[in-house]
Chains A and B, each alone.
Chain A
Amino acid sequence: MSGADRPVSRDESIWQRNDVIIGLAMVAVLTVIMLFRGLPLVLTILIDAAVFTIVTLSLNLEVGHTGISQFGRVLAVIAGAFVVGAVPGRLLAFFKGLPYGASYADDAVNYKVVPELSDLLASSLPLSIGFLLFCFLLAAVAGAAVGWLTSRPAIRLKEAYLGISLLAFGDFFMWIGHNWEPLVGGTTAVFVPDPFRVVWGSRFEVVVIVAIIVALLVYLYLERLTKSPFGRTLHMVRDCDLAAAVCGKDIVKIRTQSLMIGSALAAIGGALYVIYAGTTTAIGFTRLTWTFWPWAYMMLGGIGSNRGVVLGVLMLTVARTLIITYRSSLFGFLMAWGIDPMWLEYTLMGLVIILVVLFMPHGLVPAKVESILPADKVRRAAREHGFGETVGG
């Protein structure tokens, strides 16, 4: 699944590259949507795509680059979402002398307190920006902590065992969120103070721009990280952990680091999502949406390929949104039976996973195989050490 066994072809023209074609096609589709349905739908697609890009890229770091079967992505997303739902609002409330204890999450108190806090944020731009950055920082710390905690018992396990334990941890956190009301209100939502109130007239546009910037930063960071020596170490652990151990790499430590970085990024995605939505609803963070869908996006894009992941997210987000938008005109025959075409989203995701597994195991944009040393360097080194013509011809 790692895509490591694919031959490299270097002399591709730019018009033969899947990523270029798909990227341009996506831009075209978005333009058409904008012309026919207006800007708001495009913005909805973009914000969804940005949030899921962050989450899926973080998943790709763990699955595609490190070889950890992460079936508990929802856990870190929840960590980010819950901590942003629970902590920054309480801090503000504490400084303003409003109720900040367990009663903060009580829905009768919460819906009065949070608008006051939002008004406070709306009064000052630096405060809003500071609040936003603080939320991201807090989420990243919480995510990293959760990543470290889950890695302790789980990291020594192999493949499917590891996947299933991570899945179980994710579910466990989800249930805590559903049941422990003082945290984020249990089954009722907790409102999050809105740092975008400052730009009230164009809130949606600004949120989308901020989300895209964050997603872009995460992408650039991961591109750098996975091409750095650390990234090559991750690939080594993924491809052959025994060889990595022989080379003196501490496999458990490297996997833990990967889990912590990935979880911190996923938590930022969760934080961004709740700040955008304005509420933290524990019930909305399900294994299906925040673990399985990122897996589908990643598999379509190409496991281990950061660029592929971005395109996979964009494609499937567009497809999902179009199903919802055109459900009555395209799938009216289903509605005649009382069936909500919304469920076709599930069918689509399932089919994408099945078809990718069967026919396109490396995804749309397969990960490139990077040789650790270029061939000419190997040859030169061989010549210097007297192996001459026997290596590399």
Chain B
Amino acid sequence: MMPAWLASGLVYASGLSLTAGGITLLYITTRTFNFAHASMATWGFYVVYTGTVLYGGTPYRWLPLAFLFGALLGVICYLALNRLLLYRQANTITLMMSTLGYDLVLLSFIQMYCDYLTYSLKLFPRRVTMSVFDIELFGTSGASIILPLTAVAVLTLLHLFITRTKFGTAMRATIENSLLAGASGINSDWVYMMSWIIGGGMASLGGAFMAMAMTGTPVLGMTTIPFMFAGAILGGLHSLYGGILGGFVVGLAEYAGVYFLAAQAGSWVLGYRMAIPLLIMAITLIAFPQGLAGAWAPMVSRLRGLRRRGVGA
């Protein structure tokens, strides 16, 4: 029997690790800090919500669709925006701002979609407790078992894809050194496209996960995006696995920290829960101004006996 904070903490942390992993992946391939992760995550939640409310059943069967929808949003962002800017060698801030514009457009569509659901289907999509659709497994909520396992499965697949397939090797080559990869005949266009597909899909999947642990609102992604960034920065913005781990640590630390602090100091702590991930991020940045990349890389390479280099390092 899992304590309640751990159950929802695991769900939330799995979601955050997927989103932070997506942010890291997009950053190491395309140098883009993706603000649109916010609305992509919210869209993932609304895909699952719509499917569950309209067609019944558990929310879990709609997760693949959420992934596909996020991937679609990612592809649109790449083809319409990111690709052009990458060809122009735009700087980091320009890339970041372009995704912010895309995020606002997506946010407006989310709000309009909510209006539509409210009006035509008489639903209440602006304050959703997804956990009411959950099933019970082994005496605890199904989400706390199914979703972390799903996250592990997705990440294992991703790992296999990156390490065992030819395309994955091409992706790693482009991340390591895009110029050399291009010279050896790898089409970086496809690599960037693929990372937007994976990154977008992970964002939507992560949003759908997080909605199982917290109240689903049209600004779900908007409120959690600093935490996604926190996870990615803790992971060092250097390797995909770092981002995934960073997101998980940040998410679980928030739930655990709030639970134990509230037990000590009283329930007023609950309102300040977001201080924990932001504090983790601030400490990381103060201690390692270039992110943990500089601090972890030597350790990782010593452990694994091979030297990895971040893009642009």
A→B interface (CB under 8 Å):
1, 69, 153-154, 156-161, 163-165, 167-169, 171-172, 175-176, 178-179, 287-288, 292, 295-296, 299, 334, 337-340, 343-347, 349-354, 357-358, 361
Q: Is the CB of A165 within 8 A of B108?
A: no
0/1 string, B89-118, CB within 8 A of A gives 1: 011111011101111111111011001101
For B, the interface residue count at a CB cutoff of 8 angstroms equals: 47
CB contact between B104 and one of A165, A334, A340, A347 (< 8 Å): that residue: A347
Write the B260-297 contact mask toward A (1 if CB under 8 angstroms, else 0): 00000000100110110010011001100111000000
Instruction: Evaluate contact between A339 and B108: CB separation under 8 angstroms.
Output: no
Q: Which of B90, B93, B101, B105 contacts A69 (CB 8 A)?
A: B93
A176 to B97: give the CA distance in the assembly, Å. 27
Bound state CA distance, A153 and B282, in angstroms? 8
Checking B108, B120, B281 against A343 with a beta-carbon cut-off of 8 angstroms, the contacting residue is: B108
**Could you say which residues of chain B place their CB within 8 Å of the CB of A161?**
233, 285, 289-291
**Alpha-carbon gap, A1 to B119, bound state (A):** 43
Q: Which of B233, B268, B282, B285 has the most CB of A within 10 A?
A: B285
The distance in angstroms between the C-alpha atoms of A69 and B91, with both chains bound, is 12
B93 nearest in chain A by CB position: A69
Q: Taking the complex as formed, is B84 at the interface, i.e. its CB lies under 8 A from any CB of chain A?
A: yes
Alpha-carbon gap, A167 to B91, bound state (A): 19
Closest 4 CB pairs of A and B: A338-B119, A353-B101, A350-B104, A179-B271
Residue of B whose beta carbon sits closest to that of A167: B226
List residues of chain B with CB within 8 A of the CB of A158: 289-290
The answer to whether B49 has its CB under 8 Å from any CB of chain A is no
Closest to B36 in A: A350
Inside 8 A of A353's CB, which chain B residues have their CB? 97-98, 100-101, 104
Q: Is the CB of B115 within 8 A of A338?
A: yes
Residues of B141-158 at the interface with A, using a CB-CB cut-off of 8 Å, are none
Given contact pairs A161-B289, A163-B93, A347-B108, enumerate 20 new A-B contacts (beta carbons under 8 Å). A157-B289, A160-B92, A160-B93, A161-B285, A161-B290, A163-B33, A165-B282, A167-B229, A168-B226, A172-B278, A176-B272, A299-B97, A337-B116, A338-B115, A338-B119, A346-B105, A350-B104, A350-B106, A357-B94, A358-B81
Which residues from chain B contact A179 at a C-beta distance below 8 Å?
268, 271-272
Separation of A175 and B66 alpha carbons in the complex (Å): 30
Asked if residues A344 and B108 are in contact (CB atoms below 8 Å), the reply is yes
Contact residue among B93, B104, B120, B222 (Cβ-Cβ distance under 8 Å from A159) = B93
How far apart are A13's CB and chain B's nearest CB, in angstroms? 31
In the bound complex, residues from chain A placing their C-beta under 8 Å from that of B97 are 295, 299, 353, 357
* Secondary structure of the A contact surface, majority rule: helix
Option from A171, A337, A349, A354 in Cβ contact (under 8 Å) with B274: A171
Interface: B11 (CB within 8 A): no
- A153-B286 contact given A339-B115, A353-B101, CB 8 Å threshold: yes
CA distance A176 to B275 in the complex (A): 9
* B85 CB within 8 Å of chain A: yes
- Complex Cα distance, B112 from A345, in Å, reads 11
Q: Are B229 and A292 in contact (CB under 8 A)?
A: no
Query: In the complex, what distance in Å separates the CA atom of A100 from the CA atom of B286?
Result: 38
B271: A residues at CB distance < 8 A: 175, 178-179
Pairs A–B under 8 Å by Cβ, sample size 17: A1-B93, A156-B289, A161-B285, A161-B289, A161-B290, A168-B282, A287-B222, A288-B222, A292-B100, A334-B112, A337-B119, A338-B120, A343-B111, A346-B105, A347-B105, A351-B105, A357-B90
Give Cα A69 to B230, complex, Å. Answer: 17
* A378 CB to nearest B CB, Å: 29
Bound complex: CA A168 to CA B231 (Å): 12
User: Which residues on B sit within 8 Å (CB–CB) of A352?
Assistant: 101
Q: Which residue of chain B is the closest to A179 with respect to CB atoms?
A: B271
Per the bound structure, the CA–CA distance linking A344 and B97 in Å amounts to 19
Assembled-state Cα–Cα distance A346/B104 (Å): 6
A167 vs B291: C-alpha distance when bound (angstroms): 16
Rounded to whole Å, the gap between the CB of B227 and the closest CB of chain A is 9
The listed residue with most B CB atoms (<10 A of its CB), out of A165, A349, A352, is A165
Taking the nearest CB of chain B, how far is it from the CB of A18, in angstroms? 21
Provide the residues of chain B in CB contact with A347, threshold 8 Å: 104-105, 108-109
Residues in B neighbouring A153, C-beta threshold 8 A: 282, 285-286
Knowing A161-B290, A165-B281, A346-B111, the reply to whether A172 touches B222 (Cβ < 8 A) is no
A165 partner residues in chain B, CB cutoff 8 A: 281-282, 285
Closest to A344 in B: B108
Q: Are B108 and A350 in contact (CB under 8 A)?
A: yes
Contacts of B104 in A (CB 8 A): 288, 292, 346-347, 349-350, 353
**Nearest CB on A from B277, distance (A):** 9
Known contacts being A164-B229, A350-B105, is A295 close to B115, with CB within 8 Å? no
Q: Is the CB of B116 within 8 A of A175?
A: no
Q: How far is the CA of A347 from the CA of B230 in the complex (A)?
A: 27
Decide: A354 and B112 in contact? CB cutoff 8 A: no
Cα A261 to Cα B205 in complex, Å, equals 42
Other-chain contact of A354, B90, B101, B285 (Cβ < 8 Å): B101
How far in angstroms is the closest Cβ of chain A from B110?
9
